[in-house]
């Protein structure tokens, strides 16, 4: 459904599993949003605004390497004796 206000576009979108919504292809093209890009969603009352990130440096997240993730998991494990003691107390 297109609205008559200049510069404003409106469409009905279906919410899919896990809350996913697909932005119309022409909107993605106009906004320069490509597959895998990051967008920022902001909830204001009962409205949601989606804004494309201007650059990867403006996104507050980091992608970790497989080695870093393995190190995190190794560091996160509790010692075997402590795990056995905890298991006994359950």
What are the structural domain ranges in the chain? 17-89
Mean pLDDT of the chain: 85
* pLDDT recorded at residue 29: 93
* pLDDT recorded at residue 5: 62
Listed residue (40, 38, 58, 37) closest to 48, CA to CA: 40
Q: pTM value? A: 0.52
Q: pLDDT tens for residues 34-59?
A: 988 888 899 999 999 998 887 555 66
Listed residue (68, 38, 60) closest to 50, CA to CA: 38
- The answer on pLDDT for 21 being more than 80 is yes
* pLDDT recorded at residue 20: 92
Q: Are strands 47-52 and 39-44 parallel, antiparallel or unpaired?
A: antiparallel
What CATH topology corresponds to 17-89? Pemi-like Protein 1; Chain: D (2.10.260)
* pLDDT recorded at residue 33: 92
């Amino acid at each position: 459904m297109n609205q008559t206000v200049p510069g404003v576009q409106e469409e009905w979108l279906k919410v899919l599993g896990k809350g996913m919504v697909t932005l119309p292809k022409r909107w993605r093209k106009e906004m320069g949003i490509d597959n895998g890009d990051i967008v920022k969603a902001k909830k204001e009352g009962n409205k949601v605004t989606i804004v494309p990130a201007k650059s990867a440096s403006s996104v507050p997240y980091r992608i970790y390497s497989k080695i870093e993730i393995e190190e995190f998991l190794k560091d996160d494990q509790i010692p075997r004796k402590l795990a056995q003691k905890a298991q006994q107390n359950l």
